[in-house]
Amino acid sequence: MNTSKLTFNVISDERGRLVSLENNKNIPFAIERIYYLYDSNTEQDRGMHAHRKLKQLLICMSGSCEIEIDDASERRLYKLDSPSEGLFIDGVIWREIKFLTEETVLVVLADREYDEEDYIRDYEEFLKIKKNEIS
């Protein structure tokens, strides 16, 4: 499965902590877009789609969330609750995001501009595409 948790180097001193992310160095792509989700509704999941080409790194800056990842053969649950780690998602992967607290802020770094054509929002279509990938 093309997803992995990345742990960032944290520079700490008496003033606090600092994390630096650099294109194609400690993150595996060049950032083209940043967006973030906040004022989170813990009763309503987000995501419920896959991307055709997009590479993303999801970082939970505060609070916590669970990301369920599905590649059509396996489902995995990741918990994000620290700004010192991120979930890298590459390839056609279905994701469902559950916010565990209302204060949760989820930042997403992405390698492409927003393009609705890149979304697969229908689960049956996602399964068909994955089946064709394998055969």
**Known active-site residue 51:** no
State the DSSP H helix or E strand holding residue 126, giving kind and residue range, or none if neither. helix 123-134
* Residue 36 is a binding residue for ligand T46 (CB under 6 A): no
Q: Which is nearer to ligand T46, 72 or 97 (CB)?
A: 97
In the complex, what is the shortest distance from the CB of residue 41 to ligand T46, in angstroms, rounded to a whole number? 11
| Among the residue ranges 4-12, 18-26, 29-37, 76-84, the one whose residues contact ligand T46 (CB under 6 A) | 29-37
SS3 percent helix, strand, coil of the chain, rounded to 5, is 10, 45, 40
**Which residues, 6 or more positions from 18, have their beta carbon under 8 angstroms from its beta carbon?**
10, 11, 12
CB 86 within 8 A of CB 8: yes
**Segment interacting with ligand T46 (CB under 6 A) among 6-14, 21-29, 30-38, 80-88:** 30-38
| Pairing of the two strands 85-90 and 55-62 | antiparallel
**Closer CB to ligand T46, 8 or 38, in the complex:** 38
Q: Of residues 46, 49, 79, 112, which has the active-site annotation?
A: 49
Q: Which of residues 74-93 bind ligand T46 (CB under 6 A)?
A: none
Report the b/e string of 117-133 with b at 16+ CB within 10 A.
eeebeeeeebeeebeee
- Chain positions contacting ligand T46, by CB under 6 A: 33, 35, 37, 46-47, 56, 58, 95, 97, 108, 114
List the catalytic residues: 49
